[in-house]
Amino acid sequence: MTLVHNELDVLAELVPLHRGLNVVELGCGSARLATDLLTRFEHCRVTGLEVDQRQHAKNLARLPAALQGRLHFVQAGAQAVPAADGSFQLALMLKSLHHVPLPLMQTALAEVARVLQPGGWLYVSEPVYHGALNDIVKLFNDEGTVRAAAQGAVDEALQAGCWTQVAERRFDMPVHFADWAEFEQRMLYPTFADHGITDTLSQQVRAVFEPHGGPQGAHFTRPMHVRLLQKNAV
């Protein structure tokens, strides 16, 4: 499978970012891709929604001066987007749809449709429930059910007639951890979730993680599945 180091390359292949689109990212995290997007495509604007209060505060504190006026952060969830109808031309959900509470996934997709202009795109990128990294992570955070539900929600939204799927991509992305300490901080204790980690569970996870490590750290690939939807004209 193709190895992709920067998902912005996939997005730029599928969507005409050179036109200077108004973009909303739902569940922006640290907004790494949004920052890259604005650096490469200087006429775009991005509004990043993040439900995690601590991550949102970090985003506000480190907003690059060069991007002020083009990158805005809002603390909100995808199920209630604080924007007027037809505000955006592109919506991004990067590994975020499966984090929306199961009963609210359809509400979130309906909200995306509301704030997109007719002909606007929804780029949904979801990790595939497979691979060595997934086998480690599912020991403390098994996302099999929610990832399947995310794909099912997209299928259901398509059947409702608001969207047309215009592209689909599958690829691998490299994931690197310098050591167990970095894995533990990033994966076991994220700011947006409490995985209920006990000392015993931490030791179990470490025992499975450490055989993947070496002098250059631990290298994995994460399989990804992208679906690009376009909002139908009314």
CATH number at residue 46: 3.40.50.150
Domain-located, residue 104: yes
Q: Contact at 8 Å (CB) between 233 and 118?
A: yes
Q: Is the dihedral of CA 191, 193, 197, 201 positive or negative?
A: negative
Domain-located, residue 179: no
Calculate mean pLDDT across residues 62-78.
93
Comparing 54-68, 90-104, 147-161, 196-210, the range with the smallest average pLDDT is 54-68
Domain-located, residue 47: yes
pLDDT above 70 covers what percent of the chain? 100
Which of 14, 218, 25, 20 is CA-nearest to residue 136? 218
Calculate mean pLDDT across residues 87-116.
97
Band (9; pLDDT cuts 50, 70, 90): very high
How many domains in the chain? 1
Which residue range(s) make up the domain with 114? 7-129+142-174+224-231
Domain-located, residue 188: no
> Residue 31: pLDDT above 80?
yes
Q: Contact at 8 Å (CB) between 157 and 163?
A: yes
Domain-located, residue 197: no
Q: What is the pTM of this model?
A: 0.94
d(CA 109, CA 112): 5
